[in-house]
Structure 1
Amino acid sequence: MLCFRLSSTLLLAATCLLMSAVLSTERVITCDNRRDVLHLSCDATDSAVISVQSALYGRADSSTCSAGRPPQQVANTECSQEGTLDTLKNRCNGKRVCELNTNVFHTSDPCVGTFKYLDITFTCLPAIYLVACEGSVAHLHCDQGQVINVHGADYGRHDRTTCSYQRPTAQIQNVYCSRVPSSVGESCNGKNTCTINVSNSVFRDPCVGTYKYLELAYTCECKYLKGLFGLFHSAEGNMGLHHTRTGKYLGLFQQPLVCSVTTGTMLCFRLSSTLLLAATCLLMSAVLSTERVITCDNEENVHRLSCDATDSAVISVQSALYGRADSSTCSAGRPPQQVANTECSQEGTLDILKNRCNGKRVCELNTNVFHTSDPCVGTFKYLDITFTCLPAIYLVACEGSVAHLHCDQGQVINVHGADYGRRDQTTCSYQRPTAQIQNVYCSRVPSSVGESCNGKNNCTINVSNSVFGDPCVGTYKYLELAYTCEYPVASPEQTV
């Protein structure tokens, strides 16, 4: 076994390289036909977004897209339209899915008489994907020593479900509404944290009358080490680092090893199966990310919490404030007396949010949930929530079926959240009458699931109105729940 002395700088470089590794590289070619759709996608890869590497609109060989074409239409193999790469980066970078066709490039013709095609190479880049509804505040943040790098942003609307909670139908119909705001990157790149007000006054309005949202993707990169080190793999399957400026190789690590640094020395040791199992359990139970969402007090604004960009993760609300804790948040256009009280908070806010959102992958609501009382009359308030994305087993069972929760031997169930009702028109909808799936604001939080299943190795639940009560008569419902499998904590008597 070879062990090397590593400085903290080198260790940090290794960590950053592993965190910023590209997941996959893809190539897509579409012949020049206005009707054909070019589809770039990273939606099959957990927490990854598109990063366009190269793009050609024109012709670089005589064989691609040549079927049925006369020789003179494929003879020019040095045909390319300027600006193609920039156009594709603006339209697709930072998105999980991007669709377009070649008519985007028909503003000019780089080679008249030549039959052209669009050839794109892109990577799926691990990134933090964020959605913030119009009227809210987006928070971008990185760990200490890292800085933000925005890969793409879009302000508009691309579907009828995102940021749609209790919005009028007319405000969510236009799904071809889009603006690429360069100001996000200009404002946030190179910073450790960044706050963005999501509004038409900041981004301009690409579609008047449509309720919009901001989508963006960013990575956290090491501030001082970017481009300084590279990663290499040996023929024997080992891994190491090299200095990109000098070309010197700095380390070679046999796998599988666990290495830690103590007073500048790397300690390497092989894992026993028991220790490996323990390490795996710790990693599985780790929080995937921590996010913060702020929405100004407007009953029309949608407050959106989401872990849907992270595979098999659900929301766990950590803190929540409805009120005001400072004089700057949601203060634009407000008179001083409305933002002066910075010790305003409504009791019970955290419990309400936990009941409504814990255990769900997406949770949308607005501040009218809290309008049953006013903690500080005359103060303009906001909703400020911090939540984590927790790895969990997510389960859906239709009304009339049986839900089975089970863990591996030695582990027990811990239910993080459950909901009985209906929140969309597609889940558990097969051959159901339209009238039974229309009500998407039907919900009941059944505490009985946790009471029945927590601490058990396996658990069976009958999904029915007789068990949970009927939150919306006439609607066909389903049970959603999230749970983790945990090793029971030994009591003090058992550890003696």
Structure 2
Amino acid sequence: MAASLRFRAALLLSAMALLLTAVYAGEQVTTCDWYALNIHRLHCDHGVINVEQALYGRSSSLICHEGKSHQELANVRCAQQGTFDKIKTRCNGKTVCEVGINDLRNPDPCPGTFKYLQTNFTCLHAFTSVACEQSEAYLYCDPQTVIFVYGADYGRRDRVTCANKRQLKAIENTNCLHPTDIVASRCNGKHSCRIAATNYLFGDPCVGTYKYLEVSYTCHSPGSDLKNGYFYAGEQVTTCDWYALNIHRLHCDHGVINVEQALYGRSSSLICHEGKSHQELANVRCAQQGTFDKIKTRCNGKTVCEVGINELRNPDPCPGTFKYLQTNFTCVYAFTSVACEQSEAYLYCDPQTVIFVYGADYGRRDRVTCANKRQLKAIENTNCLHPTDIVASRCNGKHSCRIAATNYLFGDPCVGTYKYLEVSYTCHSPGSDLKNGY
């Protein structure tokens, strides 16, 4: 009987071991070194990358073995020194990271062995702060918690961020990446932190390009374990009103923005207080009327939204008080429909559900959408934003809806620009609560 119990216990432990082996909490990406320009790509649908292991070389004869000789696979103790540090520095704190394998080939760690790059990583929840060049990033945690920076970059990796009213030549270089540990060294362990996005502090990785500082961080109790990140059901972005052209940026890694609260003014003496007098912080009942409606109209239904604080300053709600813009929002699941000018958007839900529109815009905010065979002059104006509630008024509550993307219906926010209609919506049971999305 005892032997039988021991045998069954051994079987149970073996099954548990197999289960634990099969279930891996993180992600693993392997890229075989087949081609000269192979790209190793890490991606988080939600959260930011946290690299745990990285190997360029070979630790198994079974990986990337197709078509290779025994001799090319025999050395399973081949590892390029510094790979982990390089991948970690390049990728930590980002939602997407691409590394060229040719960055790791020299010196060759084991000539004659066919190699691969393999990275294990997890996706951690994080706040993201973006500061355009010549402005400041402001990192903030509640008084009971402190800042921990996952990663920071100064430069440019897309043509969308901090592109408002910039010429194409100032934003066209997207191969301008400069990871930095300056933010971590200055901000880790503090409740709040200001850091200027300037060439003086970070150097200039691409002269002539208008850059930005992008920081991903979390708030944690001092001494707590950060392996699984810090959980927060929503997002909060705070932008201090330090500079004339400060940009307030909301972003969803997954889903679309749903603004829940927005304040331009001051509701706390602890936020954006550095270097300010008691008099400038004393009024904690300062709020610009209409801020919530403006941010909601501008940002709801988008994955990325940028608002210039100068749009909220007039009239000044409390002269003499130092103000900030703070937005609380969630990222909600949504369908997206895009219709190029002179075509139709078609929104559709199953018969048991109906349409609910989160947001809609007619105009242009990038040079990629609806750009096929269009001349540059027809797509170069990306400061052409026209939020509209026409789609919601015509489509909400219906099972399906067709709506034409035309100037006749939406007006012409930018004459001469080829526009498109972008709609984000969900399908829900009539009468259901949509506060947290569908």
Query: TM-score per shorter chain, which class?
Result: 0.7 to 0.9
* Letter matched to residue 387 of structure 2: V
Match of 1:181 in 2: 181
- Given that 1:403 and 1:461 are in contact with CA atoms closer than 8 Å, whether structure 2 keeps it comes out as yes
* Letter matched to residue 248 of structure 2: H
- Equivalent in 117, 120, 143 of residue 117 of structure 2: 120
User: 1:328-376: CA deviations, max 9, x gaps?
Assistant: 3233334443333322110000000111111111111210111331111
Distance 1:330 1:119, change over 3 A: same
Match of 2:49 in 1: 49
Two-structure CA RMSD over aligned residues (Å): 4.2
* 2:25 paired with 1:26: no
Q: What's the CA shift for 1:444? A: 1.7
* 2:134 paired with 1:131: no
* 2:342 paired with 1:400: yes
State the alpha-carbon separation in 2 of the partners of residues 59 and 123 from structure 1.
Answer: 14
State the alpha-carbon separation in 2 of the partners of residues 334 and 409 from structure 1.
Answer: 57
Q: What's the CA shift for 1:128? A: 2.6
State the alpha-carbon separation in 2 of the partners of residues 37 and 54 from structure 1.
Answer: 19
State the alpha-carbon separation in 2 of the partners of residues 100 and 182 from structure 1.
Answer: 25
- Given that 2:147 and 2:192 are in contact with CA atoms closer than 8 Å, whether structure 1 keeps it comes out as no
Match of 2:404 in 1: 462
* Letter matched to residue 138 of structure 2: V
Q: What's the CA shift for 1:160? A: 2.8
* Letter matched to residue 325 of structure 1: S
- Given that 1:60 and 1:79 are in contact with CA atoms closer than 8 Å, whether structure 2 keeps it comes out as no
* Letter matched to residue 425 of structure 2: Y
User: Normalised by the size of structure 2, how large is the TM-score?
Assistant: 0.74
Per the alignment, in what secondary structure is the counterpart of residue 383 of structure 1? Answer: strand
Q: In the TM superposition, what are the counterparts of 1:5-16 in structure 2 within 5 Å?
A: none
- Equivalent in 242, 250, 255 of residue 305 of structure 1: 250
Match of 2:265 in 1: 323
Per the alignment, in what secondary structure is the counterpart of residue 90 of structure 1? Answer: helix
Distance 1:443 1:64, change over 3 A: closer
Per the alignment, in what secondary structure is the counterpart of residue 202 of structure 2? Answer: coil
State the alpha-carbon separation in 1 of the partners of residues 38 and 128 from structure 2.
Answer: 24
Per the alignment, in what secondary structure is the counterpart of residue 400 of structure 1? Answer: coil
User: 1:125-183: CA deviations, max 9, x gaps?
Assistant: 33335432122334579xx9x99986544344322322332346676455423123276
Q: What's the CA shift for 1:480? A: 1.0
Match of 1:163 in 2: 162
Distance 1:46 1:384, change over 3 A: closer
* 2:381 paired with 1:439: yes
Q: In the TM superposition, what are the counterparts of 1:50-199 in structure 2 within 5 Å?
A: 51-56=51-56, 80-95=79-94, 96-103=96-103, 106=106, 114=111, 119-123=116-120, 125-128=122-125, 130-134=127-131, 135-138=136-139, 152-167=151-166, 172=171, 175=174, 176-181=176-181, 184=184, 195-199=192-196
Per the alignment, in what secondary structure is the counterpart of residue 51 of structure 2? Answer: strand
State the alpha-carbon separation in 1 of the partners of residues 271 and 201 from structure 2.
Answer: 21
Per the alignment, in what secondary structure is the counterpart of residue 86 of structure 1? Answer: helix
User: 1:395-417: CA deviations, max 9, x gaps?
Assistant: 11111111111211121111111
User: Normalised by the size of structure 1, how large is the TM-score?
Assistant: 0.67
* Letter matched to residue 290 of structure 1: G
Q: What's the CA shift for 1:319? A: 0.6
Distance 1:30 1:344, change over 3 A: same
Distance 1:218 1:75, change over 3 A: same
- Given that 1:27 and 1:119 are in contact with CA atoms closer than 8 Å, whether structure 2 keeps it comes out as yes
Q: What's the CA shift for 1:59? A: 9.5
Distance 1:448 1:82, change over 3 A: closer
- Equivalent in 362, 365, 368 of residue 426 of structure 1: 368
Match of 2:15 in 1: none
Per the alignment, in what secondary structure is the counterpart of residue 327 of structure 2? Answer: strand
Q: In the TM superposition, what are the counterparts of 1:156-305 in structure 2 within 5 Å?
A: 156-167=155-166, 172=171, 175=174, 176-181=176-181, 184=184, 195-200=192-197, 204-207=201-204, 210-216=210-216, 289-297=233-241, 298-305=243-250
Match of 1:279 in 2: none
Gaps of 5+ in 2: 1-19, 433-438
- Given that 1:152 and 1:216 are in contact with CA atoms closer than 8 Å, whether structure 2 keeps it comes out as yes
Q: What's the CA shift for 1:217? A: 6.9
- Given that 1:155 and 1:181 are in contact with CA atoms closer than 8 Å, whether structure 2 keeps it comes out as no
State the alpha-carbon separation in 1 of the partners of residues 248 and 279 from structure 2.
Answer: 25
State the alpha-carbon separation in 2 of the partners of residues 423 and 55 from structure 1.
Answer: 40
- Given that 1:399 and 1:463 are in contact with CA atoms closer than 8 Å, whether structure 2 keeps it comes out as yes
Q: What's the CA shift for 1:64? A: 8.3
Per the alignment, in what secondary structure is the counterpart of residue 385 of structure 2? Answer: strand
State the alpha-carbon separation in 1 of the partners of residues 147 and 156 from structure 2.
Answer: 24
State the alpha-carbon separation in 2 of the partners of residues 185 and 29 from structure 1.
Answer: 36
Gaps of 5+ in 1: 1-16, 228-287, 491-496
State the alpha-carbon separation in 2 of the partners of residues 465 and 362 from structure 1.
Answer: 24
Distance 1:387 1:170, change over 3 A: same
Distance 1:121 1:445, change over 3 A: same
Per the alignment, in what secondary structure is the counterpart of residue 443 of structure 1? Answer: coil
Match of 1:387 in 2: 329
Q: What's the CA shift for 1:483? A: 1.4
- Given that 1:127 and 1:219 are in contact with CA atoms closer than 8 Å, whether structure 2 keeps it comes out as no
Q: What's the CA shift for 1:100? A: 3.3
- Equivalent in 294, 301, 304 of residue 362 of structure 1: 304
State the alpha-carbon separation in 1 of the partners of residues 213 and 390 from structure 2.
Answer: 36
Per the alignment, in what secondary structure is the counterpart of residue 29 of structure 2? Answer: strand
State the alpha-carbon separation in 2 of the partners of residues 226 and 181 from structure 1.
Answer: 18
- Deviation larger for 209-218 or 420-429: 209-218
Distance 1:81 1:123, change over 3 A: closer
Identity %: 35
- Equivalent in 355, 360, 382 of residue 413 of structure 1: 355
